[in-house]
Amino acid sequence: MLQSFPSLTLNERLSMSLRFFVALLALALIPAGAGAKEVKVEASRAIKLAVIDADRKAPGREAFHQTFADTLGYELGQRLKEPTPVKPVTQDADRAAFGLGNGIFDVALVVGHNLPRALVSSDFDVLKAAPTSGKGKFHLYFIIRKDDASLAKLMQDAFPEALKGQFFLRAYAKQLGEDPDHFGVVLAAK
């Protein structure tokens, strides 16, 4: 392009090339679909918890799930020094596994006797909790995504402490028909 205007000086040719480049750059920066709908992305501190519970229709079960979420949120807030809400969403095992795998959910809680096969993966860590009474009708499996090491560590530290929360212990004991004053939960072998 610089050679196509032989009568111009080198400075004039460079100036003209620079203006041409700036004009192209300005055109490139104009949104392609001016007037088109904009996409908004919003970040949230909320932890997304998938809850898998085969007996989710049992009386008080939704309150039990929410109590766990609130207790976990409290423990996370204590560690992070800021409120950290946990939003529970009841899912089946396949959808929860898919959601954990692609980041829709951060963690999952399985309420039952067994860990569903769909949630067994090398991409997840699993912590199991059981009542100390041994009469437990169900266990708790806490599934944590491994891809974010800092979040995984935070969850691994917060889960055992959430199990000690008095509101959670009372809700768990009530679900099992146990005396809440003589009830406890411990981490168990996987």
Paired with 188 in beta bridges are 128
pTM for the full model? 0.74
pLDDT attached to residue 92? 95
Half-sphere CA count of 105, side-chain side, radius 13 A? 28
pLDDT (tens, 9 = 90+) of the chain, 190 residues, equals 445 555 656 555 555 555 655 565 555 566 555 555 676 655 677 999 999 998 877 788 899 999 999 999 999 999 999 999 999 999 999 999 999 999 999 999 999 989 999 999 999 999 999 888 766 678 899 999 999 999 999 999 999 999 999 999 999 888 888 888 888 888 886 5
* C-alpha separations of 73 from 76, 122, 123, 130 in Å: 5, 26, 23, 20
pLDDT attached to residue 178? 86
| Residue 86 Rama label (left phi>0; alpha psi -120 to 50; beta) | beta
Q: Kindly report the three-state secondary structure assignment for every residue of 27-49.
A: HHHCCCCCCCCCCCCCCCCCEEE
Cα–Cα dist 107/100, whole Å: 7
pLDDT attached to residue 144? 96
Count of Cβ atoms closer than 10 Å to residue 172 Cβ: 25
pLDDT attached to residue 127? 95
Question: In terms of Cα–Cα distance, which of 80, 71, 62 is closest to 164?
Answer: 71
In this structure, are residues 49 and 72 in contact, taking their beta carbons and an 8 Å threshold? yes
Tokens of 16: 């003209």
- 47-188, CATH topology level: D-Maltodextrin-Binding Protein; domain 2 (3.40.190)
pLDDT attached to residue 141? 95
pLDDT attached to residue 175? 87
Task: Count H helices and E strands in the chain, helices first.
Answer: 5, 6
